[in-house]
Structure 1
C-alpha cells in the first residue's frame, strides 16, 4: 500500500461478522433489557390467566411441588394420592424454564455478551413464543381457567404451550443474568423491589441515579407488560397474544444491533 492511501475496506460479510462479535455494553442496553421486563409481565399474564402458573417466577412452582409431595403424608382426608393437574402444570413449567436456561449455555460458549448471541438468543425466545402460540391455538382450549382446581390447558398441546412459554422465559433470564446490568435477570422482580426500597439514594432529588431509576423502570415495564398482555388476552385470545409476543421479541432481537459496544478497559 502506498503512503497516504487509505486502507482497503474489508468485505461486507467480514465487517458484519466482526460487528456481531463485539461485546455489548450491559449498562447501555436499557432498551432491550427494559423490554425483557415488559415480556416477563406480558407472558406471565397469559399463562396465569389460563392455569394459575407464573411461567417466569419458578419459586412458587417449586413450593407447589413440595406441597404436592407433602399432601401424600398429611390431610385433608381422604388423601389425594394422584398427581393433580395444577401440580403437573407447575412441574411442566419448571422443567421447561430450566431447559430454556440450559439452552442459554450456548451463549456461554459463544460469548454471553456478544451481539451475535444476544440477537440469536432473543430470536430463539421468539421461536419458543411462536411455538406456544401454535400450541395454544390448536389446543382448542379456553384462554381463561375456572376455579383454582379447574385450570385450562390440560391437554397435551396446552401443556406444550405452557412449556414453550416457560422455556422462552428461562432463556431470557439467562441472557439477562450474563449481562450483569441493573435489570438483574429481567425475571426475578422481587430482588429488584428490595434493592429499590433499600437504595440509599431512593429519595434523592438528583437525577439520573442509575441504581434507582433502572430498577423503577424494570418494575414499571413489568406492570405495563402484564396490563398489556391481559388486555390482549381478553380481546384476541391466548394464541394470538403469544403471536404478538413473538413479534415483540423479534423487535427486541433487532434492537440489539444498535446497542453500543463495550469499550475496552485501558491497561
Structure 2
C-alpha cells in the first residue's frame, strides 16, 4: 500500500464555513465576513426613522400660531412682516414712489424680509436630500428655526435692537437699521416652516399665507361635508394665525416685543422636541 493511503481526508465544513471543521481536535473559528460586520448604531438608526404622517399636521398648524405671533409683533414694532411676504412685496412696490411718507425706509425692511425668507426656503429645502421625513431631520430643522427666533428675542431684550413704544413716525434720523438683523432671522426661520409643510404633504396649510387658504375654503365643493380633513386643516390654520396675531398684539403692548418672540421660540423648540419622539411610519417597518 502506498503512503498516500495513510493521509486522512479533510474534515467536512460546518454550515458552509470552510474554517469551521467537525474535527474536535481543531478549534472552531468564526467566518471572517461576519466578524467584520459593523456594529449597529441604535441612536443613529432611531433618528433616521421616518415619522408617521398621522397627526403630523398638528405641529404644522402650530407653526401658523407662530406666524401670527411673529407677524403681529414685527409689524407693530417695525411696520414689516416676517412671514406673509405678499404684504412686504406691496410695501416694496410703494417704496419705488417714496411711499408711505411716514416710513421712508419701509421698503428696505420689506426687501430684507423677502430676501431672507427666500434664503430660508432655499436652505431648508435641502433637507429633502437627507431624509426629509426623518425624526432627526425634522427635529434639527425646527431647532434651527427656534434658535433664529431666540436670537431675535435676545437682541430685543438686551436692548441691542431698540424696542419702539407707541406709534413713532419714522424720519431720516430715527431709522434704526439694526432692526434689520432680527427681521432677517425671523424671516429666515419662516421659510423653514412652509418648506416643511410642503415636504410633509400638507399643501393646504402653507403656514405663512392665508389668501390661498381663504380661496380654497370658499371654493371647496365639499365644504359642508362632515368628513373633510383638508377643510378642517385650513380652518384651523386661519384660526391659529388669528389667535397668534391677537396674542402677539396683546403681549407686545403689555410686556414688550421680546415676550411675544420668546413665546414663539418656545413653541418652535417644543415642536423640535416632539419630532424627536414622533411615532415611526409603521408601513416602512413591515
The two structures have a TM-score, normalised by structure 1, of: 0.81
RMSD of equivalent CA atoms: 2.9
1:264 counterpart SS class: helix
1:93-112 alignment to 2 at 5 Å?
93-112=113-132
> Which residue of 165, 169, 181 maps to 2:202?
181
Which region of structure 1 is more displaced relative to structure 2, 244-253 or 117-126? 244-253
Are the counterparts in 2 of residues 52 and 148 from structure 1 also a CA contact under 8 Å?
no
Which residue of structure 2 lines up, in the alignment, with residue 92 of structure 1? 112
> Which residue of 160, 164, 169 maps to 1:139?
160
Q: 2:68 aligned with 1:41, yes or no?
A: yes
Distance 1:253 1:28, change over 3 A: same
Q: 2:257 aligned with 1:238, yes or no?
A: yes
Are the counterparts in 1 of residues 78 and 179 from structure 2 also a CA contact under 8 Å?
no
Q: 2:238 aligned with 1:219, yes or no?
A: yes
Q: Deviations over 1:50-75 (max 9, x none)?
A: 12212111122223223323x27xx9
Which residue of structure 2 lines up, in the alignment, with residue 248 of structure 1? 267
Between the aligned partners of 2:281 and 2:217, the Cα distance in structure 1 is 26
Instruction: List alignment gaps of at least 5 residues for structure 1.
Output: 1-12
> Which residue of 17, 20, 25 maps to 2:47?
20
Are the counterparts in 2 of residues 182 and 215 from structure 1 also a CA contact under 8 Å?
no
Instruction: List alignment gaps of at least 5 residues for structure 2.
Output: 1-39
Q: Deviations over 1:95-148 (max 9, x none)?
A: 121121122033122122222111101000111001111222323523456267
Aligned residues: 244
C-alpha displacement at 1:162, in angstroms?
Answer: 1.2
2:248 counterpart SS class: helix
Are the counterparts in 2 of residues 49 and 144 from structure 1 also a CA contact under 8 Å?
no
> Which residue of 137, 149, 153 maps to 1:117?
137
Between the aligned partners of 2:111 and 2:221, the Cα distance in structure 1 is 39
Are the counterparts in 1 of residues 119 and 188 from structure 2 also a CA contact under 8 Å?
yes
The two structures have a TM-score, normalised by structure 2, of: 0.76
Between the aligned partners of 2:45 and 2:236, the Cα distance in structure 1 is 32
C-alpha displacement at 1:22, in angstroms?
Answer: 2.0
Distance 1:145 1:53, change over 3 A: farther
Q: Which has the higher helix share?
A: 1
Between the aligned partners of 2:144 and 2:279, the Cα distance in structure 1 is 22
Between the aligned partners of 2:53 and 2:165, the Cα distance in structure 1 is 37
Are the counterparts in 2 of residues 48 and 54 from structure 1 also a CA contact under 8 Å?
yes
